[in-house]
Structure 1
Amino acid sequence: MADLAALRALTLPDTTVDSVEEHPGDDATPASVRVQLTITHPAAGDPVTVWVWLPVEGWNERFQGTGGGGFLGGSPDALADPLRAGYAAAATDGGHPGPTASFALDGRGRLDWPRIRAFGHVAVHEMTVAAKAVVTACYGRGPRFSYWNGCSTGGRQGLTEAQRHPGDYDGVLAGAPVINYPQMQTAQLWGQVVMRERGTVVSAAKFEAALAAVVAQCDTAGDGVADGVVADPLGCTVDLDALVGLPTPDGPLTEADVAVVRAIGEGPRRRTGEFLWYGLPPGAPFAGLHDSEVVDGGLVGRPFVFDLWWFGLFLAQDPDWDWRTLGTDRFEAFFDQAVEQYSAVLAADDPDLSAFAERGGKALLWHGAADFGVPLQGTLDYHERVQRLLGADRTHAFLRLFVAPGVGHCGGGVGPQPTGALEALVDWVEHGRAPEQLLARQVDGTGAVVATRPLFPYPRVARWTGTGDPADAASYAPVEGTRLELPPGR
């Protein structure tokens, strides 16, 4: 039974208990106690909001921290699912309200480092410490096990916790994690810069045709099944020259169009051709980052708003910054600035997870191979660097990465969707049963399951055995897929 008096009397450093609410429950959630806290740092005056929801009955003695997405640190909306599952759960706004990046600059137009640090790593740790104290006050005992569950920014937050505060969580579930935040966020504008500088803005219809042609070339190479899904994107060598002349509703693909597609796939490069960051792998859609629109009768690029915020506020420090002034020379300078200025604050790319492993922590990562926003290779890059530092066997004992073919950013896409990842992590942490596979499911418009597919730990991929129904996960066996080859300097 929840101890409301203890919650209202709770005293924590630099923390105010804003409210303790008894929620009777409804069709969506069981009865719960909902606590809101404000954590401040007196010198900076930068408030961090924390929400903690606790089931009145049926607590499973576990705590779950939840993450945000994009520039959103987190939201109480993420607490309904864990509450229904019996968890005490928490979220934080990351030190700023809402999903925008306006927190980057203070009232004088200068970088607001306290809030940037809060978003980067401070808020999630403070949330975790405060929430566990709330759990203890509520139930008279702390959680037996603590789990992190997040995707995109939430995935980055979870890995940040494992790297900086290895005692905070017993298990970390990180989907599509923005591990190399400065590189990834800067690289997202690369395609738009290429199109503008070359004077070739590729239309949505042409991008769709190019994607379909690439998928057709790679479709059966990894899994032996023609299903419109690229099972092993790094293992497919695409003949982009074959796309020239391909008919589309906007006319045939030109050499200039294909050159843009090639540049996006290669990813950002210095003017000398030196690698900066990864591009889109075969099978990942171009929509979202490479959109366009008609202005005054001409086709022009329409960048993703997050990228405009990143460049305008974090890098140029000018809310009125015009992306159309950006060429590849200035892009290169901005890229270097981003890595130098923000890696220590926003990145989650430290491969030394030895402290997390030594205390028994387990990390389950998953990433959609058709992620348009956070390229799969960034997560593969991190996995390879952890293995290089700690060794393959030691890494595999506590860290496993599952790649979901055809799946987009945190879900969606044409491929079967991963299921049961959190349950697999809990089983691994509490019973020592390491996940040898996850099950992915594809459903139709009515919600009926029409196909299943196993997902195996990277670098293995699922290949059809040649017998049995290709829509049945039982008809697949693991084979070695293609490993990412780290570029020089990684």
Structure 2
Amino acid sequence: MKYNKLIYITGLLFCCLTSPIVATAAEQDFREKCLSYEGPDIGNQYPVISSHAYFVPKNSKMPLKIRDRNTGELLKNQEIKSDLCLLKIILGPGAPGDKNMPSTSTGIGVEIWLPVPDEWNQRYIGVGQDGFAGGIEVKAADIVSEFGSSALRAAKDGYVSAAYDAGHAFKDGSNGSFGLRTDGSVNWPLLQDWAYRGLHGMTLAAKQAAQDFYGKKPKFSYWNGGSTGGREGLMLAQRYPADYNGIISAYPAINWPSFATGIMWPQIVMQQELGHPIEADKLDLVTQRAIRACDTTLTGQHEGYLSDIHGCNYNPLKDKDILCESITNTTKSCLSQKEALAVNKIWFGPTMDGNYIDPAKNNGVEKSLSLGHLWYGYNRGAILFNSPVSYGVGPAGITPFTIGAHWLSIVTQDPSLADNTFVNEKNPSRDGWKKLPYSGEYSYASIFIRSLQQFGSMNGTDSADLREFSALGGKIIHWHGLADNQIPVGGSINYYERILSSSGGLEQTRRFYRFYLAPGLGHGRTGAAGLNPPTPGGNSNDGFGINYALIPALEKWVEKGVAPESLTMPLQPGETSSRSWCLYPQHLKMIQGGERSQRKFECVKDATW
């Protein structure tokens, strides 16, 4: 195989100019192997287009800038305490075309971190992406991408680790412009790289790099991903069951053709019912009213978030304290009848005809969808407006959640349906989604069905057949926040219920797959400003860190056969009994009340679930 040899020694030169270190013979050998490495040979299906290598000596400053995954900031001069080798690799074949167009790609960008041999724990961790993935930084020569920074976090602890860009580099995870070619046709090669092909290539490359550096491949391989990364984990279990021994799938973007189209439901509802978005203050008001009506189920006191979404049937149309007294009232302290109706429809989720069921009879949280109910809505308690707490995303915000708008354009091959962030030359018009009726020949419902038909087999990631993964000894920990405002938790509940049916029931399923619901958590972080709900690792705003705190439990299950039961959380202020994430379908119950210091909790299953 021929390689385009692009070997960088920036890290070595930086070290030697600022803080000379006397290396042992083994360390010297590792450094030389790193800087001369030409990339992993993993066959003609994934040819190495280019390979860059960086050696970072222990007790030195990282020569590359690092994109922080939580804040988005570029960090400089990060201290590295152990010898590390960073490989930046591009795997082909990519997609030819004008280099300035989103439909063009040089290949799948991969960042691989390797610790010095004496510190390698013989494990490998793959790190997931988000949204449409992509971004220029995985392939960039002077930056560690935000996903590579998560991989670095694992490498510091002795793991070989890897992240990737899913095969395209345009913009960021919110932008799906790569999904259409310049003529408006579906860009199947790049969509397939994003859906599954890039995942497998990254995994093969990381394992082969371990073989080349250490003389053996990892003994255990783990996946750590949330959102699209959660979908990627389940895609691996479904399509490449031998790639990983253990998978953490957090708030996964599974059921993509349904979920991604469903993202636009709140916007469609507001256009159809009102002709404009609902103001943020009003959305916040109705959300807080819903929380206030339903957040005392656990302790009898207001918690500020919901612990039970199944039993919350709050209906603003029945709340006289929130409804405006006059249809001419335009203040932000109340909702009109039409606005309250729209919110109910948003909470219920997409339907074939735009109608919904009274929340007293069905609040939208169903194990399986009722007739005409296309997909799940966002739970009462989830932030609906464009809030900084949720990265500026809000499904009913002033501007649409771009992933949904872009997906409509990809499905229909019509760029005019997207918002103005979608780049394609076929049609300069934008925001055509505003004109879509609920139903009809060319409507929201028809596009929803087309999305399922055309893309279900590519990236639906909804197959309930995990027999091969289970037979190989694979294990899955899957969790989802009850206040997620980007991916409705109903999709995860629905998927796990189907797994239960296909795997022979609860006892059989729990042998390899365990599912948890997380009260108070939104999309990988706290579900509301000022809240710090019980969270693994203790920081509810550190999405990767929450998952990373679960890795020891996954390793114990995979390597020692000790399965996790309820997951104990750090103590809440003033409480002496820990709360837990309960193993589905259990839920948390307070078995002793009184003062905060006297409370005791345990996971139970009763008739309400």
TM-score (norm. length: structure 1) = 0.89
Matched, 1:285 2:393: no
Matched, 1:31 2:128: no
1:274-314 Cα shifts (integer Å, max 9, x gaps): 1100011222221233445xxxxxxxx42122222222344
Which residue number corresponds to residue 359 of structure 2? Answer: none
Q: Distance in 2 between matches of 1:244 and 1:203?
A: 19
Which residue number corresponds to residue 306 of structure 1? Answer: 403
| Offset of residue 222 of structure 1 | 4.4
Matched, 1:416 2:513: no
| Offset of residue 93 of structure 1 | 0.8
Asked if the contact 1:59–1:88 (Cα under 8 Å) also holds between the matched residues in 2, the reply is yes
Q: Distance in 2 between matches of 1:370 and 1:85?
A: 31
Q: Distance in 2 between matches of 1:449 and 1:477?
A: 14
Q: 1:22 aligns with which of 42, 48, 55?
A: 55
Among all aligned residue pairs of Structure 1 and Structure 2, give the percentage whose two residues are the same amino acid: 29
| Offset of residue 42 of structure 1 | 7.8
Q: Distance in 2 between matches of 1:313 and 1:479?
A: 44
Q: Output the amino acid matched with 1:83.
A: A
* Cα distance, 1:456–1:49 mapped onto 2, change above 3 Å: same
Asked if the contact 1:67–1:150 (Cα under 8 Å) also holds between the matched residues in 2, the reply is yes
| Offset of residue 92 of structure 1 | 1.2
Q: Distance in 2 between matches of 1:279 and 1:178?
A: 14
Asked if the contact 2:395–2:485 (Cα under 8 Å) also holds between the matched residues in 1, the reply is no
Asked if the contact 1:468–1:475 (Cα under 8 Å) also holds between the matched residues in 2, the reply is no
* Cα distance, 1:275–1:417 mapped onto 2, change above 3 Å: same
* Cα distance, 1:92–1:216 mapped onto 2, change above 3 Å: same
* Cα distance, 1:34–1:468 mapped onto 2, change above 3 Å: farther
| Offset of residue 439 of structure 1 | 2.9
1:171-204 Cα shifts (integer Å, max 9, x gaps): 0001100110111111111111111111163211
Which residue number corresponds to residue 118 of structure 1? Answer: 193
* Cα distance, 1:243–1:206 mapped onto 2, change above 3 Å: farther
| Offset of residue 43 of structure 1 | 8.9
| Bigger Cα displacement from structure 2, 11-20 vs 151-160 | 11-20
Matched, 1:402 2:516: yes
1:119-164 Cα shifts (integer Å, max 9, x gaps): 0011001110111000111111111100000000000001000000
Q: Distance in 1 between matches of 2:550 and 2:210?
A: 24
| Offset of residue 442 of structure 1 | 7.6
CA RMSD across the alignment: 2.6
1:40-74 Cα shifts (integer Å, max 9, x gaps): 13897861111111112511110000110111158
Which residue number corresponds to residue 288 of structure 2? Answer: 212
Q: Distance in 1 between matches of 2:300 and 2:514?
A: 25
Q: Output the amino acid matched with 2:521.
A: V
Q: Output the amino acid matched with 1:289.
A: G
Matched, 1:457 2:487: no
Asked if the contact 1:197–1:327 (Cα under 8 Å) also holds between the matched residues in 2, the reply is yes
* Cα distance, 1:483–1:335 mapped onto 2, change above 3 Å: farther
Q: 2:436 aligns with which of 326, 334, 337?
A: 326
Matched, 1:241 2:284: no
Matched, 1:379 2:492: yes
| Correspondences of 1:16-415 after superposition (within 5 Å) | 16-24=49-57, 25-26=60-61, 27-29=78-80, 30-41=82-93, 47-56=107-116, 57-73=118-134, 75-97=147-169, 98-99=171-172, 100-199=175-274, 201-222=277-298, 224-246=300-322, 250-271=332-353, 273=355, 274-287=372-385, 288-292=393-397, 301-318=398-415, 319=424, 320-322=429-431, 323-329=433-439, 330-391=443-504, 392-413=506-527, 414=531, 415=533
Q: Distance in 2 between matches of 1:478 and 1:209?
A: 32
**3-state DSSP of counterpart to 1:289:** coil
Asked if the contact 2:475–2:512 (Cα under 8 Å) also holds between the matched residues in 1, the reply is yes
| Bigger Cα displacement from structure 2, 329-338 vs 310-319 | 310-319
Q: Distance in 1 between matches of 2:54 and 2:524?
A: 32
Q: Output the amino acid matched with 2:223.
A: W
* Cα distance, 1:356–1:236 mapped onto 2, change above 3 Å: same
* Cα distance, 1:365–1:136 mapped onto 2, change above 3 Å: same
Larger Rg: 2
| Offset of residue 375 of structure 1 | 0.5
Asked if the contact 2:586–2:604 (Cα under 8 Å) also holds between the matched residues in 1, the reply is yes
Asked if the contact 2:39–2:51 (Cα under 8 Å) also holds between the matched residues in 1, the reply is no
Asked if the contact 2:579–2:602 (Cα under 8 Å) also holds between the matched residues in 1, the reply is no
**3-state DSSP of counterpart to 1:19:** strand
Q: Distance in 2 between matches of 1:280 and 1:260?
A: 13
Q: Distance in 2 between matches of 1:40 and 1:107?
A: 21
| Offset of residue 79 of structure 1 | 1.4
Asked if the contact 1:246–1:253 (Cα under 8 Å) also holds between the matched residues in 2, the reply is yes
Aligned length: 472
1:392-443 Cα shifts (integer Å, max 9, x gaps): 2110111011111011001222332233322211111111111112233488
Q: Output the amino acid matched with 1:348.
A: T
| Bigger Cα displacement from structure 2, 1-10 vs 303-312 | 1-10
**3-state DSSP of counterpart to 2:322:** coil
* Cα distance, 1:324–1:10 mapped onto 2, change above 3 Å: closer
Q: Distance in 1 between matches of 2:444 and 2:288?
A: 30
* Cα distance, 1:218–1:60 mapped onto 2, change above 3 Å: same
Q: Output the amino acid matched with 2:383.
A: P
Which residue number corresponds to residue 295 of structure 1? Answer: none
Which residue number corresponds to residue 8 of structure 1? Answer: 38
Matched, 1:426 2:502: no
Q: Distance in 1 between matches of 2:287 and 2:462?
A: 30
1:207-240 Cα shifts (integer Å, max 9, x gaps): 1111111112211224544312211111233243
Q: Which runs of 5+ in 2 are unaligned?
A: 1-25, 62-77, 97-104, 139-146, 325-330, 356-371, 386-392, 416-423, 538-548
Asked if the contact 1:33–1:54 (Cα under 8 Å) also holds between the matched residues in 2, the reply is yes
* Cα distance, 1:339–1:412 mapped onto 2, change above 3 Å: same
Q: Which runs of 5+ in 1 are unaligned?
A: 293-300, 485-490
1 or 2, which has the higher strand percentage?
1
